[in-house]
Amino acid sequence: AQRYPLEQIVHLRIPASVSPTVGDALHYALRDSGYRLCTSDDQANRLYRLPLPAVQYQMGPIRLNVALQLLAGPAWQLLVDDVQREVCYRLRPEYTPSVPDAGRGSTSSVSVGTPLSAGSTPLPVPPVLNTSAGHSGVNKVHRGGWLK
């Protein structure tokens, strides 16, 4: 944990009385890590304004980088800039809306924000155990027993 602060084990307990947003929870999770949440990306700011699901008010023991990914959800890729000690999020390409190309009528992906500095490292999504196949090819998943 001293060498890699985002891999430390944490316990998060966010009071429900404050009606927290995802951004509030991310700031809270990072409070003693030495890292800060980037706020320069309009797309990520949209994530930060979303209400935090009640199921995420308490989690742990859990690695901080895993908690940061769970708080954002599967649509968002966690990016870490170790040089600036900054944590950012980028919408994953499969969740990026397509817009018609004005010239040909075909679709293309929308740009998803600016890249971080050369020290940036996208973190992988925590593994998810598929427990059964749902209807229409949608898999139900079990995410572990970190909630109380």
Q: H helices then E strands: how many in the chain?
A: 3, 10
Contact indicator for 113, 44 with CB cutoff of 8 Å: yes
Task: For helices 64-72 and 22-30, give the axis angle rounded to 10 degrees.
Answer: 170
State CA 83 to chain mean position distance: 20
Reported pTM: 0.66
Q: Give residue limits of the domains in the chain.
A: 5-142
Better pLDDT: 107 or 101: 101
Arithmetic mean of pLDDT over the chain: 76
Q: What is the DSSP string of 1-28?
A: --S-GGGSEEEEE--GGG--BHHHHHHH
* pLDDT interval class at 79 (50, 70, 90): very high
Lowest mean pLDDT, pick from 1-10, 27-36, 78-87, 91-100:
91-100
Which tokens go with 52? Answer: 């935090």
